[in-house]
Amino acid sequence: MEHIQSFFSLTRLNSFGIDVKAKYFCKANAIDNILSVLDWQQKQQTPLLVLGGGSNVLFTKDFDGLVLQNALKGITLEKEDDTYYYVKAMAGENWHEFVCYCVEQQYQGIENLSLIPGNVGASPMQNIGAYGVEIKDVFESLEAIHVQDKHIQVFQHADCQFGYRDSIFKNALRNQYIILSVTFKLRKQPIYNTSYGNIEQALEQMKVTTPDMASIAKAVIQIRQQKLPDPKVLGNAGSFFKNPIIPDQLFEAIKLKYPQIPGFPISQTNTTKVPAAWLIEQAGFKGFRLGDVGCYPLQPLVLVNYGNASGEAIYAFSSNIIERVAKEFNIELEREVNIY
């Protein structure tokens, strides 16, 4: 049985740097540890929160239960065929370090997801994505343990019900499973995606004429570092809101008042994805600061903790943004960050 600590500070385990405590805390380095901790938690009948890298959470109060940090480590090449490498990473692996490893090994497909904070285990939960690539594009399967009956189950692609920054683990199966490992299907013959965002521009500046995995990863890292704050310097959880998907009819109505509104039509759905950052900027929040909470000047999607902001203050600030955007555009922004 792993050592369970009481009244444990979570300040260093959430990327906002919010000073809250967990009534109980345990770091699990092996599947057997997770099983024994779950036994203890069920006997105690205390609430459970599984934490990975803490990069997508906002704590608004102390957690009155057990915080279990999933620290399972290991990367293995499970198998390969003519087209793909099947690479298994344990849930506690740092996501960016895993991407770097795959780039070094010439496992192609996730270089566009460089420098995304967090751990591997959270990647399918959120269906993380950036620069034209999402987890669902490279996902093969995952192993997860059922919290109540403690059996280990394999989830294939279709089982996960991937959506935009969404999966079955955020909806029907929320808090019912702990992800242990994820297996990715990565290409042997590269198909690069450089058309999204400023990747091509960054490659030009780097004087790269023939892109490869390493140069694309480097370009993505540069772009992200230029417009996103380092959580170690300014507490943040990356994009705080999802980009809303709205009916084409509403998009056209908004366009009458704001002809410059950007939108990305989603084929065969009569809907358009609108950048939340643009909406937030139009609502007057880009660079706006209230006490120790603010919208990052270079990227309005990112809410930052400039010092000793409380989780309640950050949550209230996000509510003000939601309210203002709804009033101005009749669009309800949805938080991407998990609130506790």
Quickly state the pLDDT bin for 4 (edges 50, 70, 90): very high
Residues forming beta bridges with residue 264, ordered by sequence position: 273
Tens digit of pLDDT for each residue in 302-311?
Answer: 999 999 999 9
Q: Is pLDDT of 173 > 60?
A: yes
- C-alpha angle 124/119/236, rounded to 5°? 105
Distance CA 252, CA 250 (A): 5
For residue 101, what are its two tokens? 């490893």
Q: Where are the domains of the chain?
A: 5-70, 75-227, 235-339
Q: What percent of the chain has pLDDT over 70?
A: 99
Report the catalytic residues: 165, 239, 336
Tens digit of pLDDT for each residue in 220-264?
Answer: 999 999 989 999 899 999 999 999 999 999 999 999 999 999 999
Tens digit of pLDDT for each residue in 46-86?
Answer: 999 999 889 999 999 999 999 999 999 999 999 999 999 99
**Amino acid 14: pLDDT:** 96
Q: In terms of CATH architecture, what is 75-227?
A: 2-Layer Sandwich (3.30)
Backbone phi, psi, residue 8, to 5°:
-90, 130
**Amino acid 227: pLDDT:** 86
Q: Which of 270, 255, 281, 269 is nearest to 333 (CA)?
A: 281
Enter the CATH code of domain 235-339: 3.90.78.10
Instruction: Please report the sign of the dihedral spanned by the C-alpha atoms of residue 172, residue 175, residue 181, residue 185.
Output: positive
Quickly state the pLDDT bin for 217 (edges 50, 70, 90): very high
**Largest Cα–Cα separation, the chain:** 63
Mean pLDDT, rounded, of the chain: 95
Tens digit of pLDDT for each residue in 28-47?
Answer: 999 999 999 999 999 999 99
Tens digit of pLDDT for each residue in 247-258?
Answer: 999 999 999 999
pTM: 0.89
Instruction: Please report the sign of the dihedral spanned by the C-alpha atoms of residue 34, residue 18, residue 279, residue 253.
Output: positive
**Amino acid 2: pLDDT:** 59
Distance CA 137, CA 235 (A): 30
Tens digit of pLDDT for each residue in 266-304?
Answer: 988 999 999 999 999 999 999 999 999 999 999 999 999
Quickly state the pLDDT bin for 1 (edges 50, 70, 90): low
Enter the CATH code of domain 5-70: 3.30.43.10
**Amino acid 142: pLDDT:** 98
